Structure 1
Amino acid sequence: MRTRLLLTSLFAAFAFSPLCYGGEIPATARTFLSGHCIDCHGSVEPEAGLNLTAIDANLADEKTLAKWIAIHDRVQAGEMPPEESTQPVESERRQFLNSLKQPLATADEKSSEVMLRRLNRREYEYTVCDLFSIDVDVKDMLPEDGSSHGFTTVGESLSISTEQMEAYLAAADVIFDATIGPPKPPTSQLRTDLLTDNVPSYLKDKKIRIMDDGIVMFNRNQAAGKFSDLSTKQPGLYRVKIRAKAFQSDRPLSVSVHVGDVITNRRGKHLVGYFDVHPGDDWTIIEFTDRFDRYDAFEVKPYGTSLGYKSDANTTTIPGVKVGETEIEGPLNPVWPPESRAKLLDGIDPTKATVSDIERILTRVLPQLFRRDATQSEIAAYVGLANEVLAKKRPWIDGLKVSLKAALCSPEFLFLEEPSEGELSDVALASRLSYMLWRSLPDEELLALAEQNRLGEPQVLRDQVERMLADKKAERFVTDFTGQWLELYEIDFTEPDGSLYPEYDELLRMSMLEETHRFFEKILTENLSVSNFIDSDWLIINERLATLYDIDGVESVELREVKLPSDSLRGGLLTQASILKVTANGTNTSPVLRGTWVLERIVGKPAPPPPSNVAAVEPDTRGAKTLRELLAKHRDDPSCARCHDAIDPPGFALESFDVIGGYRDWYRSLTSGDRVKATYGPAGVKRVAYRKGLDVDPTGELKGRGRFSDIRQFKELLMQDPDQITHCLIEKLLVFGTGRELSFSDRDEVDRLVAAVRADGNGLRTLLHHVTQSEVFQSP
């Protein structure tokens, strides 16, 4: 008792002395901490290394401010004082928080710095493609972007390096050449051939069935679908038409189509898509347009069928895919000059043009590149670069290229210009809005409103958001925001072990991503409640996902909305295969990884990083112990228990789902357990290699809300506080859209937005409108 009185006295006299530290912490806060926190945080070895008898009270210091914000948040969350200690009355706690709130917000606002935000790789590519009306892949020429708070749009993580500038120079060459186009129009050609002429001789015996009007393939890896005789002789855009039908089947079958070096696969290939082909007398026409490089070809493979090693294609009765006549036409370039060239040159003949024509082009293009008016001195500087080239008797087109190349590498293009304080100008707001919803530069209508200083008017801004969401370019927002918010871009970070998860394939991967994109898109388009992200009574799936989810009655590769039964475990984001895939590795799942993901991405309350001296908890790959058992021992350490009490429950709830999103009652093992009598593959002809491991335990307790026995009950507990997903989404959208971390001084505005969205029905589209109308979005 005497020790406590002494420490309390020292704490009050020294740590908060106005004479020493300027008196920035109110007296009520000093009294609260002296009475409730000094026992643990005033000793020689204070808890968590926080010694309140030595903490500075000068909030102008960044580290000191961070400590005080952490103290505020721990008290607000009820984590301090700890449960075993005597708790302050609620009015006392509230008074403490209110007394700290304003000083912390003021200090935070004064210390906040606005960092110029560079266009990230995707924004760069979208911008040049939209600006010059071209289709080029230049993002992969640029170095990987840094990430902060889960997003690659945050200014503090988007630095510039020498390597990056060299990459921009190389990308500018590609952009200009694609814009100008080839020197003369290519000659279009039409190639038509029957597949029977393309069948390799080694496949003609028993592997495929050759018929008068085509061939029938029964195996998903059937090499007969590689049309080497139809390979392209020059790069360009080609139109392909394939005639196919389901053979010996009373229901549609599916095929995949790839384009590229399908013969040797040395240069790689890419997926065009999966298509349904129907039974009957009529052919199903698969038609697509894609870019081919020189000597590229395409291949068609059946999906969901398998002939069997000893079967004969000429006598088998199993379903197959019949492919008939194919056509390939190209390179396609029906208009000369190309749209991109005509748009840039605007009637100027390069063989007769002068430097004044370059000036005319730059006067038109630079304001688009800079997303604002270009000054005469800026235009003159770029014209000067072109003049230097022309003075050396080089072609006029080279002079234009040098000037545009310099503009594409300029800070005015690469960075979004925003003021360091005050409010955004309408022109800056136009860029911020456009790069949020279109991931690209603002169009003429948006800039015109900005130049009239009308974009900041609430109704005008609302109308523009609606117009932009209706545009096809808004698909980029859906893909890019979900790709970063939900970490869908990490879908290929690990590859499921083929022995443990032999059913994982390309179609499943593609379907996973498309399900989540379409799910988000539907909630946004129809302004459904954001609570659907936690739980929904509908899914958007195809046959491949329905098989994984054990849902009957869904056929075809096309995704469609499916109503879920009331007792289904599925619904919402947490049980979607894409989410379950990105929160696991290729072999096993971890409640820690999945729990951390839920806290960060759905609940919006990230767990602090583990202490550096605590080893990570890894599952026993031999199946001897479950990770739950290992985590129970891990929580014996009080410093670990505090975080794991929040992290582990959502991870345990998701243990009923494996690495690829399938439901499970037990873990798969390769080394121990009973053998599993199951097959897999298109026709279920291969026996699985995994064994039945230990049983899954998806039970747990969500602190302060109750126990759950499975993911269904866990989602019900989450739904007790629907504001948490609203709050999380608002924060994520603001970071994504503004390109900066939210700070303590933004919290009141975020809380106001949560209340406003709730009052307006909690719809996602409504939420987006509130975000774009907010003070945070319209400020630097």
Structure 2
Amino acid sequence: MLLLGVLLLAGLTFLPTLTFDLVYDDHWTILANGFLREPGDLPLLLGPQAHARHVPDAFRPTLVAFDMASYQLLGVEPWRHHATSVLLHVGVVALVAAWLRGLRAPPALWGGAAALFGVMAIHAEAVAVVSFHEDLLAAGLGLAAAAAQGFERGLQEAVAALLQSPYFLYQVEIGEPDPDDPSRRRLTSYELATRMSFFLLDTVPDAELLDEAEADLLADADGIRAAAWRLLERPQARDTLGEIFGEAWRLRELEALPKDPSTFPQWSPELAGAMRQETLSLIDDITWERDADFLEVFTADYTFVDVRLGFHYGLPDAAQLPDAPTRVELGGLDGRGGVFGHAGFLARLAHVSSTSPTLRGKFVLENILCRTVPPPPPGVVTDLPVAEDDATMRERLEAHVVDPSCAGCHSMMDPIGFGLESYDGIGRFRTTDNGSPIDASAQLDGQPFEGAAQLGALVAQSPQTPSCLVRNIYRHATGHIETEGEEVAIEAIEEAFVESGHRMQDLLVEIVASPAFRVVAEPQ
């Protein structure tokens, strides 16, 4: 009875596959390759033509031979092919059970092990991943160890084997030939669903998204957009966007940022955490609460602070603030405005005991405007000269760039960073540096500014800003730096982003709906 129950479980688990169509690693192999349909074609299985049409390390002639036999005996009806697979699977489960019983495993062990084997995937469409053949073999070896060495040891071996499987550890993207352009590969519906879900939610696809992939509803841009909008309604989307900017703007580094305790005794991981949350709260408010123009992140005359950060900024009503981030109006306080006035931005782009106009200017150029700042020439001395008793950071840098080998790069970065010198190495407002008055006059592309709010206004007006924002998020979504062949697609995404009024949610949807999001490189 135990064996019968296990076999029924193995069969019933996969009965829904009888309603599925043929997929890329099943009988479809024969249908897509007309030159492999007759028994007389068997010699071609090892020929260069067949091998060239498949991923070399996934080319399995024995599997194709089985599909050919199935095609000859059962025809092209998908349910017949799937039914054969289910019956074969039940047979294999029976063999596994007999094997473990032959090793004199107790009924609880061989029954449970065979049941576990029986419910694991036999079809790619059942779990939206590629074949688990190697994983099942590894699990089987672990179960054999359970019978030979004891249940606890064997279970350890089985779990270790599964956890080391590439299908468990990695997001597999092999793709399939693009029907519109056979010279390139595109993600399968299941691979696309997985990439979408990890990009938007940082987790595996849910059941509804898998159903949409199975029904081929992700085959066109409209279907992808509909699925993406649904995913963005889930709470995880907010956290995932925060993680994207936590990486792009390096907010993750704040709590571990070292500061000189003699210079900045107020610095602590708790204060740093409040700084990080300030920026994330602004992003959350603009994107999710109000669905507003995202460029407001550079110009907002308000921010989100808790009581700790309120005292850090010297807000008049800081004592009345709660422990959670709360919106407060800045009203031009200390020239702050937008993310450039956030203490987290200013503290991270500073040295251990001083400010760094160079780091601040470099970040604006490279991360906000996507401009290239060349590295220092080989052998150049990057240390600043020893400060005079009353020399400001600006005066030290201006003396440093007298050297022609330093002037080229610093003349790009420092004029921007000088405009933020009114904020010290942990983002507090100040009027003097080393006892001398601060000169915070600066310029960006020849336009003068002073302070965070004025810099944010100039950045928000630059056409390079939305373009750079699109590129940074596109790189995160696809996991690579864009190539020349992707420029047309990226320009289309940028155009849609501008037309939407720079709505971040629209940008996320347009990225996943872009044909470039679905393209995958040829396997190596």
Provide TM-score, normalisation by structure 2: 0.70
Moved over 6 A (4+): 364-368
SS at match of 2:199: helix
Q: Which residue of 1 aligns with 2:504?
A: 764
What is the CA-CA distance between 1:588 and the residue it aligns to? 0.5
1:724 aligns with 2:464: yes
Q: Which residue of 1 aligns with 2:189?
A: 426
What is the CA-CA distance between 1:738 and the residue it aligns to? 0.9
SS at match of 1:656: coil
Residues 68-83 of structure 1 mapped to structure 2, 5 A cutoff: none
1:374 aligns with 2:131: yes
Match 2:113 to one of 339, 355, 366: 355
1-structure distance, mates of 2:204, 2:246:
20
Residues 286-325 of structure 1 mapped to structure 2, 5 A cutoff: none
* Contact 1:746–1:776 (CA under 8 A) maintained in structure 2: yes
Match 1:652 to one of 418, 421, 425: 418
CA 1:663–1:620: 2 relative to 1, 3 Å: farther
1:386 aligns with 2:142: yes
Match 2:441 to one of 699, 702, 710: 699
Residues 453-468 of structure 1 mapped to structure 2, 5 A cutoff: 453-468=216-231
What is the CA-CA distance between 1:566 and the residue it aligns to? 4.9
Q: Aligned partner of 1:661: which letter?
A: G
1:545 aligns with 2:299: no
Match 2:393 to one of 604, 608, 627: 627
Q: Which residue of 1 aligns with 2:236?
A: 473
CA 1:351–1:694: 2 relative to 1, 3 Å: same
1:734 aligns with 2:470: no
Q: Aligned partner of 2:163: which letter?
A: L
1-structure distance, mates of 2:458, 2:113:
69
1-structure distance, mates of 2:145, 2:284:
49
Deviations 1:52-82 (A, max 9, x none): xxxxxxxxxxxxxxxxxxxxxxxxxxxxxxx
Q: Which has the higher helix share?
A: 2
Residues 182-197 of structure 1 mapped to structure 2, 5 A cutoff: none
* Contact 2:303–2:328 (CA under 8 A) maintained in structure 1: yes
Q: Aligned partner of 1:719: which letter?
A: A
1:508 aligns with 2:271: yes
1-structure distance, mates of 2:347, 2:449:
23
2-structure distance, mates of 1:641, 1:544:
40
SS at match of 2:454: helix
1-structure distance, mates of 2:352, 2:231:
39
SS at match of 2:186: coil
Gaps of 5+ in 2: 1-106, 176-183
CA 1:765–1:605: 2 relative to 1, 3 Å: same
CA 1:754–1:383: 2 relative to 1, 3 Å: closer
Q: Which residue of 2 aligns with 1:679?
A: none
1-structure distance, mates of 2:485, 2:397:
37
Q: Aligned partner of 1:374: which letter?
A: S
SS at match of 1:777: helix
SS at match of 2:424: coil
What is the CA-CA distance between 1:472 and the residue it aligns to? 3.1
Residues 334-353 of structure 1 mapped to structure 2, 5 A cutoff: 353=111
CA 1:663–1:390: 2 relative to 1, 3 Å: same
1:436 aligns with 2:199: yes
2-structure distance, mates of 1:741, 1:450:
27
Q: Which residue of 1 aligns with 2:295?
A: 531
Aligned residues: 403
Q: Which residue of 2 aligns with 1:577?
A: 343
What is the CA-CA distance between 1:512 and the residue it aligns to? 0.8
What is the CA-CA distance between 1:610 and the residue it aligns to? 1.4
Q: Aligned partner of 2:366: which letter?
A: E
2-structure distance, mates of 1:459, 1:367:
22
1:710 aligns with 2:451: yes
What is the CA-CA distance between 1:455 and the residue it aligns to? 2.1
2-structure distance, mates of 1:775, 1:647:
36
SS at match of 2:121: helix
1-structure distance, mates of 2:332, 2:436:
29
2-structure distance, mates of 1:733, 1:709:
29
* Contact 1:619–1:625 (CA under 8 A) maintained in structure 2: no
* Contact 2:147–2:154 (CA under 8 A) maintained in structure 1: no
CA 1:466–1:392: 2 relative to 1, 3 Å: same
CA 1:720–1:383: 2 relative to 1, 3 Å: closer
Residues 530-679 of structure 1 mapped to structure 2, 5 A cutoff: 530-554=294-318, 555-566=321-332, 569-618=335-384, 620=386, 623-638=389-404, 640-667=406-433
Q: Which has the higher strand share?
A: 1
CA 1:537–1:364: 2 relative to 1, 3 Å: farther
Q: Which residue of 2 aligns with 1:133?
A: none
2-structure distance, mates of 1:351, 1:387:
9
SS at match of 1:625: coil
What is the CA-CA distance between 1:739 and the residue it aligns to? 0.9
CA 1:544–1:694: 2 relative to 1, 3 Å: same
CA 1:578–1:372: 2 relative to 1, 3 Å: same
What is the CA-CA distance between 1:484 and the residue it aligns to? 0.9
2-structure distance, mates of 1:729, 1:506:
29
SS at match of 2:366: helix
CA 1:371–1:639: 2 relative to 1, 3 Å: farther
What is the CA-CA distance between 1:773 and the residue it aligns to? 1.6
* Contact 2:419–2:443 (CA under 8 A) maintained in structure 1: no
Deviations 1:225-272 (A, max 9, x none): xxxxxxxxxxxxxxxxxxxxxxxxxxxxxxxxxxxxxxxxxxxxxxxx
What is the CA-CA distance between 1:499 and the residue it aligns to? 2.3
SS at match of 1:540: strand
Question: How high is the sequence identity, in percent, across the aligned residues?
Answer: 28
CA 1:473–1:398: 2 relative to 1, 3 Å: farther
CA 1:387–1:507: 2 relative to 1, 3 Å: closer
CA 1:456–1:695: 2 relative to 1, 3 Å: farther
* Contact 1:355–1:386 (CA under 8 A) maintained in structure 2: no
2-structure distance, mates of 1:730, 1:380:
42
Gaps of 5+ in 1: 1-348, 670-692
Bigger mean CA offset, 401-410 vs 479-488: 401-410
2-structure distance, mates of 1:749, 1:356:
49
1:409 aligns with 2:164: yes
* Contact 2:221–2:514 (CA under 8 A) maintained in structure 1: no
What is the CA-CA distance between 1:662 and the residue it aligns to? 0.8
